[in-house]
Amino acid sequence: DQGQYTCNGSVDINGNPASKIDTGKWRACSSILGGEFCGALAYYGVGTNLVSYLTKVQNQGNLTAASNVASWQGTCYLTPLLGSFFADSYWGRHRTIVISMTIYTVGMVLLTLSAVVPANNNTLVVSPKDTLTSLGLFLTALGLGGIWPCVPPFGADQFDETDGAEKTQKELYYNWYYFAVNGGFFLASTVLVWVQDNCGWKLGFGIPTLVSAIGVAGFLATMKIYRYQRPGGSVLTRIFQVLVAATRKINVNAPIDSSLLYEMPGKDSAIVGSRKLMHTDGLNFFDRAATFTGSDEIYHETTNPWKLCTVTQVEELKILLRMFPILLTGVIFNTAEAMLPLFIEQGELMDNNMHGFSLPPASLTTFNCLCILVLAPTYNKVLMPMMSRFTGNKRGLSEFQRIGIGMVFAMLSMVSAALVEMFRLHSVKNRVLDHENTAVPMNILWQAPQYSFVGIAKVFSVVGVIEFAYEQSPDAMRSLCQACSLAMVTFGSYLVCIMLKFINEVTARLPGQGSHGWIPEDLNQGHLDKFFLFMAGLQLLNLLAFVYCATRYKRKLAT
């Protein structure tokens, strides 16, 4: 009976059509979300306090440690491009996740051993402690490359999007996925950081290592009830085949009637694990790749794909090109979170005394996390029904609307930070502290809104991007599109680094600035408020660019 099996091409562990009753849905997702929670706890358990470990235990200088942490974090967001390629092309998402989780856990074990091994006083020889740390960090970054781009789509694979009821449940999954990630982050940045500072690094790294191993075991324990999507072969090869075939026929005009373009007969696509895609107008140059000419020959219903491609293959490339501008707006959006170190520096020059208790400026990042933990489940239960009354959309908001709202809050976080800095600098001038690198009597909790706005922005935009990357990407390229969205986080951080240096050098030459720019060592002499306003303007321009791209976006048409 066709009604007993999924219709989106998913199979069970034995390679047979997946049963709707015995596989997938929330029963399978519970172990996926649990594994993601464990992975997030392990990652943030290392990353949140890594700079302290490198300075206090490895005896690295502040600049060297900060540079090493930034390099490691940047690598963690770029390795998904490699992991996603293997997942979509050869291994499939499940196998990639298992291999990557194993690599990641081995890296965690090496980091834990680095905290156990005694230091080597011989400075002329590379110590085992340094070797274990470097190798451990490398393996964790490599492991994350297969986990981060594959877990969100693998969880979404557990719901059949051709079934209305399951499609609705899948839309709730994205919020719970992000909730699991930030639940792990919250525990890591509070409990684990306390353990590392008060109980030592052996236990501080040992706990996340154990949690990571538990996540792997839980993920493997439910293999029989997962739904699997088969890998579709090399993504890059298919892209280059379309480019080569279209270029070869540069003097050939594609037919006006799209039904004359080449496609595989029957209901199955030429790409394993992918549904057929219907032809869409636009980017017509690539339609030449699917256009018959006298030299094209078909043997046993197959062709030379370097000369003649199917419509589905051509549409894959069109989809990627259409998605790229939307994903690119994520670079500017992610600069908002990259501002958190500046928020902390701003907070260090404010009054952090709370009824006799000294509140660390970095602890305000919990406002960011708490907003996510409250809003993610609240969106499903409260905001979604409310929004659906106004939008007429059962989901409450489309993925584009969610991304756009998130961008508005990213802009508001910059405006809020600028207003706080304006009042802080006003207090500096009133007390003639502009030549003293000291705190002003302004309560640090005034920073709470700017942190909260970043958290709200992430709940809307990040979840919206995850949904967009899954729903609109070609079936056989879903991990790759997730990896591209993750890469935008790194590019956003790189952009902030470049802009900080560039703007500070340019503003130092402005009349009345003295020998320093907007962001000097002593922020009491600077104009951090102007930099925040500049970034708010950049976020506004980015929002307008996103709206322009979103209103002109052509959605994919899957059969």
- What CATH number corresponds to the domain at position 385? 1.20.1250.20
Q: Could you tell me how far CA 454 lies from the centroid of its own chain?
A: 15
Sequence-ordered list of residues with C-beta below 8 angstroms from that of 488, at least 6 positions apart, any chain: 327, 328, 330, 331, 333, 334
Q: Which of 182, 212, 233 is the last residue of a domain?
A: 233
Alpha-carbon distances of 81 from 245, 425, 479, rounded to whole Å = 26, 43, 9
* Same structural domain, 500 and 551: yes
Q: Distance (Å, rounded) from C-alpha 232 to C-alpha 497? A: 38
Beta bridge partners of 351: 443
DSSP string, 479-498: HHHHHHHHHHHHHHHHHHHH
Alpha-carbon distances of 444 from 8, 153, 353, 447, rounded to whole Å = 52, 40, 8, 6
Under a CB-based contact definition with an 8 Å cutoff, are residues 212 and 104 in contact?
A: yes
* Same structural domain, 291 and 398: no
The DSSP code for 188 is I
* Same structural domain, 32 and 159: yes
DSSP string, 215-251: HHHHHHHTGGG--B----S-HHHHHHHHHHHHHHTTT
Alpha-carbon distances of 141 from 9, 37, 75, 183, 184, rounded to whole Å = 32, 17, 6, 21, 17
* Same structural domain, 277 and 352: no
Q: Distance (Å, rounded) from C-alpha 207 to C-alpha 201? A: 10
* Same structural domain, 31 and 79: yes
Strands 357-358 and 353-354 turn out to be antiparallel
The DSSP code for 379 is I
- Please report where in the chains the tokens 């790759």 appear, as a residue: 480
Q: Distance (Å, rounded) from C-alpha 161 to C-alpha 471? A: 9
Tell me whether residue 269 is exposed, middle or buried, using C-beta atoms within 10 angstroms of its C-beta: 0 to 12, 13 to 18, 19 or more.
Answer: buried
The 3-state DSSP class for residue 118 equals coil
* Same structural domain, 307 and 426: no
Task: Please give the pLDDT value at position 128.
Answer: 82
* Same structural domain, 156 and 38: yes
Q: Distance (Å, rounded) from C-alpha 139 to C-alpha 75? A: 11
Under a CB-based contact definition with an 8 Å cutoff, are residues 403 and 460 in contact?
A: yes
* Same structural domain, 53 and 145: yes
Under a CB-based contact definition with an 8 Å cutoff, are residues 488 and 323 in contact?
A: no
Beta bridge partners of 302: 299
Task: Please give the pLDDT value at position 426.
Answer: 85
- In this structure, what are the phi and psi dihedrals at residue 17, rounded to the nearest 5 degrees? -50, 135
- What is the extent of the structural domain holding 416? 317-558
Q: Distance (Å, rounded) from C-alpha 378 to C-alpha 252? A: 55
* Same structural domain, 434 and 547: yes
Tens digit of each residue's pLDDT, the chain (559 residues): 456 888 877 888 998 888 888 898 999 999 999 999 999 999 988 887 787 888 888 887 765 776 777 788 888 888 999 999 999 888 999 999 999 999 999 999 999 998 888 776 665 456 788 889 889 999 999 999 999 999 999 999 999 888 888 888 888 888 899 899 989 988 888 888 888 888 888 998 999 999 999 999 999 999 999 999 888 888 889 999 999 999 999 988 888 888 888 888 877 777 877 888 899 998 899 999 999 887 766 654 567 888 888 999 999 999 999 999 999 999 999 988 888 878 888 888 888 887 777 777 877 878 888 888 888 788 777 777 777 777 777 777 888 999 999 999 999 999 999 999 998 888 887 776 656 667 778 888 898 899 899 989 998 998 899 989 988 998 888 899 999 998 998 888 888 888 888 888 888 887 765 667 787 777 787 788 898 999 999 999 999 999 999 999 998 887 6
Buried b (16+ CB within 10 A) or exposed e, 158-174: bbbbebeebbebbbbbb
- Please report where in the chains the tokens 């902390």 appear, as a residue: 344
Task: Please give the pLDDT value at position 300.
Answer: 47
Q: Distance (Å, rounded) from C-alpha 463 to C-alpha 402? A: 8
* Same structural domain, 81 and 123: yes
Number of domains within the chain: 3
Q: For 50-108, give the secondary structure using H, E and C.
A: HHHHHHHCCCCCHHHHHHHHHHHHHHHHHCHHHHHHHHHHHHCHHHHHHHHHHHHHHHH
- Greatest Cα pair distance, the chain, in angstroms, is 86
Task: Please give the pLDDT value at position 147.
Answer: 93
* Same structural domain, 304 and 368: no
Rg (CA), the chain: 26
* Same structural domain, 192 and 55: yes
Give me 426's structure tokens: 């006003």
**Residue among 315, 339, 322 at smallest CA distance from 495:** 339
Under a CB-based contact definition with an 8 Å cutoff, are residues 171 and 467 in contact?
A: yes
Under a CB-based contact definition with an 8 Å cutoff, are residues 474 and 277 in contact?
A: yes
Enter the pTM of the model.
0.84
**Residue among 206, 244, 223, 18 at smallest CA distance from 112:** 206
Give me 312's structure tokens: 């589905």
Q: Which of 206, 233, 260 is the last residue of a domain?
A: 233
Under a CB-based contact definition with an 8 Å cutoff, are residues 274 and 475 in contact?
A: yes
Q: Which of 215, 233, 251 is the last residue of a domain?
A: 233
Give the sign of the dihedral formed by CA 445, CA 446, CA 449, CA 454: negative
